[in-house]
């Protein structure tokens, strides 16, 4: 019966996401909610100026439509509460992104809320998630080390770790959203990993939740794959980061993000390395950061970069699932 619900939820999420674009994309165009390209960004992206943004609303609706099925099929009340906390936290992060996007499109520039304001709101959302999970007894201080049988109890340190990791994960996913179909293409594979892992653990609710995530990304790729007809904006990328991060903690495997989210990790590390190295030496490590722009400068097409990133994610997700299946179960 749970497989039946998974199929229904996935189909519903895909359909709502893909079909909502028929109304949302023209509406965003009429409202002139177009993306403003940064002046210091790649010059070859100037042709994307004016492409509708805030398209993340599409998959937020798609995933939201499937949540009732996830709650119905939750094995325990704890799983049900965890799904609610994950969804609400992702919505909080998405709201931060929506505010940022709205300021950008209303002012016709690429600068929305300040970095300090955005970080303050992100930390507030991360703290809310941490407190909610902790008070419900759903936040485990036991940390599994990927690809080993080792597990470490870090005690009270789980609280600051959760907050800091959540903000880091959200921004890693956000910075990955720099090419048509890149973040959505990578995230649908991560969603499939969550689906398989949740199913292996017997978590029917999370299986449906993850299926909705994966299917919504496929529905969004109908509009977002190169050449993109709509961008997810910070509305979508911060929401996705919030969802990916909270699910990692809800499944009690936060470190697995470093494996299944390898592309997100590489993306944000490339940006940090570039900034720190340039400040110290006035020289660049990459032709342009984050790293997807480096490969563009090398002559790679957006499609080639997308499929390379998806291939890398698939390999690491497959390895992570084998660890889960043969070691954790």
User: Which pLDDT does position 323 carry in this prediction?
Assistant: 97
- pLDDT for 34 equals 77
C-alpha distances (whole Å) from 278 to each of 176, 210, 265, 271 are 21, 39, 20, 11
The per-residue pLDDT for 1 is 44
Among 237, 250, 215, smallest CA distance to 64 is for 215
| Number of CB atoms found within 10 A of residue 116's CB | 8
SS3 category, 324: helix
CA angle 226/248/289 to nearest 5° reads: 40
- Output phi, psi for 34, to 5 deg: -100, 155
Q: What are the pLDDT digits (tens) for 107-143?
A: 766 677 899 999 999 999 999 999 999 999 999 999 9
- The residues, ordered by sequence, that sit 6+ positions from 160 with a Cβ below 8 Å of its Cβ are none
Q: How high is the pLDDT of residue 74?
A: 92
For residue 328, count CB atoms less than 10 angstroms from its CB and return exposed for 0-12, middle for 13-18, buried for 19 or more.
middle
Ranges of H-type helices in the chain = 2-30, 56-72, 77-107, 115-135, 158-176, 182-200, 204-224, 233-250, 257-260, 262-281, 291-297, 302-323
- pLDDT for the residue 274: 97
Q: Residue 118: CB partners within 8 Å, gap ≥ 6?
A: 96, 100, 112
- pLDDT score recorded for residue 20: 98
pLDDT tens-digit profile of 87-99? 999 999 999 999 9
Positions of the chain with pLDDT under 70? 1-2, 36-46, 108-110
Cα–Cα–Cα angle for 75, 77, 81, nearest 5°? Answer: 110
């Amino acid at each position: 019966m749970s497989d039946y619900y998974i199929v229904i939820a996935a189909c519903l999420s895909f359909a709502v996401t893909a079909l909502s674009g028929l109304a949302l994309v023209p509406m965003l165009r009429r409202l002139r909610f177009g993306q403003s390209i940064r002046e210091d960004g790649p010059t070859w992206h100037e042709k994307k100026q004016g492409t509708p943004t805030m398209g993340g609303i599409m998959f937020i609706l798609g995933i939201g439509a499937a949540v009732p099925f996830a709650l119905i099929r939750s094995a325990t009340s704890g799983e049900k509460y965890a799904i609610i906390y994950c969804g609400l936290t992702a919505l909080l992060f998405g709201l931060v992104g929506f505010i940022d996007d709205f300021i950008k499109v209303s002012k016709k520039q690429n600068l929305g809320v300040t970095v300090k304001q955005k970080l303050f709101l992100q930390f507030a959302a991360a703290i809310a998630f941490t407190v909610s999970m902790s008070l419900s007894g759903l936040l485990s201080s036991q940390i599994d080390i990927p690809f080993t049988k080792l597990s470490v109890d870090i005690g009270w340190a789980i609280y600051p770790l959760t907050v800091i990791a959540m903000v880091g994960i959200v921004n890693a996913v956000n910075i990955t959203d720099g090419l048509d179909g890149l973040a959505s293409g990578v995230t649908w594979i991560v969603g499939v990993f969550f689906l398989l892992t949740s199913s292996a653990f017997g978590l029917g609710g999370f299986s449906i939740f993850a299926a909705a995530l994966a299917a919504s990304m496929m529905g969004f790729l109908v509009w977002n794959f190169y050449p993109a007809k709509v961008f997810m904006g910070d509305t979508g990328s911060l929401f996705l980061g919030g969802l990916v991060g909270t699910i990692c903690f809800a499944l009690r495997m936060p470190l697995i993000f470093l494996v299944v989210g390898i592309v997100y990790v590489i993306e944000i590390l490339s940006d940090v390395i570039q900034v720190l190295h340039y400040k110290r030496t006035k020289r660049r490590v990459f032709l342009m950061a984050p790293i997807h722009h480096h490969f563009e400068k090398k002559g790679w097409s957006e499609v080639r970069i997308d499929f390379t990133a998806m291939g890398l994610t698939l390999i690491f997700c497959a390895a992570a699932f084998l660890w889960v299946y043969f070691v954790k179960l």
